[in-house]
């Protein structure tokens, strides 16, 4: 069984970041190890919450893992709340990366054309070195524009030619594979577009368009992509699995009375994801 370590925050209440990543990765047949970058009482959409920054602990944990000869098949980063965390995680990658280790970076820092509140104005400049170390990056459309120093418009305002050019430019920053999420294909469908430098091809993955904002979907998407890649799926296949699973999670959330508040109701869909993971394992055993 392959082992991934994911570095991002964890909330006591709220279905996002590590709370979403761990079960998703596990259902795909991947061993999920974690290094929490911060501990929050609730996710940040609540009116009040407390947060404990754990940046200073990352180095200590790293040293202990090295002492115990721990190796990872993948390193996967999510939301990072400070420049200090970027620096610590960049050092972590340098320490634990080896020839076969996959590095996946979800530059979770912005949405709807705006940087997340609490992040410094120069955050994008500081995350570029982390992007250059990644094998795979998974920005949403806003984040992709910020990384490329482009003006952001409405999602429907980008043509496929423009998105294809953005993917290639992002890949030129270092990562061989790039996925841009939150792409609106038409009035009824949305999803993601991916690029693989090895094939120099662009791939689309789409499903039903849902109006509104759904907390935690980006974390779930990136976790599915990471798990699928570790199960030897292509970036096109991984993106398709992620788009379809996120769509199912939103459909389940729409049935709930408190929909969208704590995060999407992915738990009721995990059984389907486990079947996907078992199908991967079956295919490997047959080979």
User: Tens digits of per-residue pLDDT, 61-90?
Assistant: 999 999 999 999 999 999 998 999 999 999
Supply the pLDDT for residue 215: 87
Contact present, 191 and 206 (Cβ < 8 Å): yes
**Beta carbons within 8 Å of 251's beta carbon, 6+ residues apart:** none
Dihedral of CA atoms 272, 105, 206, 169 in degrees, nearest 10, equals -160
Supply the pLDDT for residue 21: 97
* Residue whose structure tokens are 């003006």: 151
DSSP of 115-176: EPTTS-TTHHHHHHHHHHH-SEE--BHHHHHHHTT-----GGG--HHHHHHHHHHHHTTS-S
Q: What percent of the chain has pLDDT over 70?
A: 96
Task: Please determine, for residue 128, whether its predicted confidence score (pLDDT) is greater than 80.
Answer: yes
Supply the pLDDT for residue 286: 58
Task: Please determine, for residue 58, whether its predicted confidence score (pLDDT) is greater than 70.
Answer: yes
Give the pLDDT band (50/70/90) at residue 238.
very high
- What are the structural domains of the chain? 3-276 (3.40.1190.20)
Q: Which residues pair with 114 in a beta bridge?
A: 111
CA separation for the pair 91, 59 (Å, rounded) = 8
8-20 per-position pLDDT tens digit: 999 999 999 999 9
Supply the pLDDT for residue 282: 65
Contact present, 110 and 150 (Cβ < 8 Å): no
Task: Please determine, for residue 187, whether its predicted confidence score (pLDDT) is greater than 80.
Answer: yes
Q: Could you tell me the pTM of the whole model?
A: 0.95
Supply the pLDDT for residue 260: 60
Dmax (CA) for the chain in angstroms is 54
Average pLDDT, the chain: 93
Task: Please determine, for residue 102, whether its predicted confidence score (pLDDT) is greater than 80.
Answer: yes
Supply the pLDDT for residue 80: 92
Supply the pLDDT for residue 168: 98
Name the 3-class secondary structure at 202.
strand
Give the pLDDT band (50/70/90) at residue 117.
confident
Closest CA to 205 of 180, 226, 175: 180
């Amino acid at each position: 069984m392959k082992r991934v370590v994911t570095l991002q925050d964890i909330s006591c209440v709220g279905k996002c970041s590590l709370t979403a990543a761990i079960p998703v990765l596990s259902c795909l047949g991947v061993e999920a190890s974690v290094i929490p970058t911060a501990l929050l009482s609730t996710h940040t959409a609540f009116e009040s919450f407390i947060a404990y920054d754990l940046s200073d602990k990352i180095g200590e944990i790293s040293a202990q893992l090295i002492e115990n000869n721990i190796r990872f098949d993948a390193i996967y980063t999510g939301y990072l709340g400070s420049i200090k965390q970027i620096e610590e995680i960049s050092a972590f990658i340098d320490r634990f990366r080896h020839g076969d280790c996959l590095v996946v970076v979800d530059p979770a820092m912005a949405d709807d054309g705006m940087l997340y509140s609490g992040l410094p104005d120069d955050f994008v400049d500081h995350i570029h070195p982390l992007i250059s170390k990644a094998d795979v990056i998974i920005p949403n459309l806003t984040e992709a524009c910020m990384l490329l120093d482009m003006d952001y418009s409405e999602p429907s305002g980008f043509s496929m030619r423009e998105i294809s050019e953005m993917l290639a430019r992002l890949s030129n920053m270092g990562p061989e594979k790039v996925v841009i999420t939150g792409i609106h294909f038409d009035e009824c469908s949305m999803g993601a577009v991916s690029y693989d430098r090895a094939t120099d091809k662009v791939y689309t993955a789409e499903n039903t368009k849902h109006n509104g904002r759904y907390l935690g979907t980006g974390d779930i998407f990136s976790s599915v992509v990471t798990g699928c890649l570790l199960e030897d799926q292509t970036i096109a296949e991984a993106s398709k699995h992620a788009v379809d699973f996120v769509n199912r999670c939103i459909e389940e959330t729409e049935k709930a009375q408190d929909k969208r508040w704590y995060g999407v109701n992915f738990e009721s869909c995990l059984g389907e994801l486990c079947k996907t993971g078992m199908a991967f394992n079956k295919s490997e055993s047959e080979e």
